[in-house]
Amino acid sequence: MDVPFEVLIVDDQPFAREGLISHLNWKRFHGTLCGSVSNGAEAMDFLQVCHPDAIISDIKMPHMDGIELAKKVHESPELTDIPIILLSAYQEFEYAQKAMSYHVNHYILKPITRKKIEQMEDILVELYRARETSRVNLINFTNGNWIKEVSKALYSHDISKIENFFQSSSFLDFMEGKHCDILGTQLIGCLYDYLADLHFEPNALQASRNNSIESFCELPNTAQKSNYIETLYMDVLNFFLQKRGNNTDALYRYAISYIDANFTDINFSISKMAAEMNITLSYLSRVFKQSTGNNLINYVTEKRIDYAKTLLKSPQYSIRKAAHLCGYADDGYFSSLFRRKTGMTPTEYRNCQL
């Protein structure tokens, strides 16, 4: 569906405003008039309730001239992306120089002839096409898989993937355009959706989300906004990586102490241990392997076999009794496991020690 290209006209002369409205070929640039005001001050009031795609403004006007209007639009975070076409009877370089300092790249000298009208239409066609390209790219971008990819990187704490996203041309191009606030707000939302799944206190999290969005939107330019989003993500990821590192060490140490205290219990199992620690067995096994270089089951087995060796050095313990004291209810399984680990049966090992 075609989205009209909205234009605001600013001129203190009613006949000049009416002349532009009637002589412009609005269909050329899919245009529609969204407002017509007599000076810069009225234009600024109008811009509080309407965000046009372009402004056509005279320079010399009472209360607030076109240069001052361009300055205020350029300095406003909400309005700075609106292109301005300035009309002037002044040929002095200083006016054009001032206009360019506020990123006004379109400057047309009066009187406004038919040729000047066509020149203005050419500019508006160019602006319309640029807006459409940006709008279509935004739709394609926001309908794509980037949210899923960013979310996946958050849950896996993949800092390099997040960094690559923030350095991508897609992110940088959109953050430099008029849709900066839309993309930034979506990224903040994605980050806080991730935090919500970690069971933070909902009211505090919502207050933090609102504050982050407000702080982001109040920043004066797109460069600072891009940096704000990237910093927000990196701060959260670094915090959880550090916390996970601390938790990993704590989990490993707790698992070691738990095993040392319970491995001789016939009812001991690593599944039960993981359940008591409120984590999955797969995660506990991964943490243990990363911390010790040893498999969790192997560690428990080695503890039991080492203890069995100590018991077998004393004749007071039968093979069956030694198996039970090491945590094995089935002495046949114990004997088979002992042989596999030591190369000898329990009896052969005992005979070597006595």
Asked which of 124, 140, 156 is the last residue of a domain, the reply is: 140
Residues 79 and 190 in one domain: no
Q: Which pLDDT does position 141 carry in this prediction?
A: 61
Which CATH number do you get for residue 54? 3.40.50.2300
177 and 232 assigned to the same domain: yes
Is 168 contained in some domain? yes
Residues 171 and 231 in one domain: yes
pLDDT band at 308 (very low <50, low <70, confident <90, very high): very high
134 shares its domain with 188: no
Quote the pTM value: 0.49
The mean pLDDT of 176-200, rounded to a whole number, is: 80
306 and 287 within one domain: yes
244 is a domain residue: no
Same domain, 211 and 136: no
Q: Is position 248 within any domain?
A: no
**Is 255 among the domain residues?**
no
Rounded Cα–Cα distance for residues 270 and 281 (Å)? 7
Q: What pLDDT does residue 75 have?
A: 85
Residues 43 and 118 in one domain: yes
Name the phi and psi angles at 155, rounded to 5. Answer: -70, -25
User: Which of 57, 240, 31 lies closest to 129 in space, CA to CA?
Assistant: 31
Q: Which residues, 6 or more positions from 239, have their beta carbon under 8 angstroms from its beta carbon?
A: none
Amino acid occupying residue 296 = L
One-letter amino acid identity for 220?
A: P
348 and 331 inside one domain: yes
Query: What residue numbers bound the domain in which 317 lies?
Result: 263-353
Give yes or no for residue 243 having a pLDDT over 70.
Answer: no
Q: Tell me what the mean pLDDT of segment 272-285 comes to.
A: 79
Tokens 């927000």 belong to which residue?
Answer: 232
- Mapped onto helix, strand or coil, the DSSP state of residue 91 is coil
Q: Which of 6-15, 102-111, 310-319, 340-349 has the lowest mean pLDDT?
A: 102-111
Per-residue confidence (pLDDT) for residue 106, from 0 to 100: 86
The confidence score (pLDDT) of residue 140 equals 64
pLDDT at 160: 74
- Segment 303-309 mean pLDDT: 95
Spatial separation of the C-alpha atoms in residues 187 and 232, rounded to whole Å: 10
| Tokens read off for 256 | 């070691």
Say if 201 falls within a structural domain: yes
**Is 119 in the same domain as 175?**
no
Residue-wise pLDDT tens digits, 29-76: 999 999 999 999 999 999 988 889 999 999 889 999 999 999 999 888
Asked whether residue 81 carries a pLDDT value surpassing 90, the answer given is: no
- Provide the mean pLDDT of the chain: 85
pLDDT band at 96 (very low <50, low <70, confident <90, very high): low
Strands (E), 112-232: none
Total domains present in the chain: 3
CATH of the domain at 339: 1.10.10.60
As given in the structure block, the two tokens for residue 249 are 């060490």
Banded pLDDT at 245 (limits 50, 70, 90): low
Question: Does 200 lie in the same domain as 307?
Answer: no
pLDDT of residue 241: 63
Q: Do 103 and 53 reside in the same domain of the chain?
A: yes
CA triplet 252, 278, 289: central angle to 5 degrees? Answer: 30
pLDDT-derived band at 93 (thresholds 50, 70, 90) equals low
Sheet holding 106-109, edge to edge: 31-37, 5-10, 54-58, 84-88, 106-109
Q: Is the separation of the CB atoms in 32 and 6 below 8 Å? A: yes
13 and 130, same structural domain?
yes
Residue 292 lies in a domain: yes
Using alpha carbons, list the distances in angstroms from residue 350 to 72, 138, 263, 319: 92, 76, 22, 9
DSSP one-letter code for 26: G
- Local confidence band at 162 (pLDDT 50, 70, 90 cut-offs): confident
How would residue 85 be classed by pLDDT, with cut points 50, 70 and 90? Answer: very high
Domain end: 239, 271, 306, which one?
239
Q: Is residue 336 part of a domain?
A: yes
The answer to whether position 250 is within a domain reads no
Q: Which of 140, 162, 185 lies at the terminal end of a domain, its last residue?
A: 140
Give residue 320's pLDDT: 94
**Is the pLDDT confidence value at 244 over 70?**
no
Percent of the chain exceeding pLDDT 90 equals 40
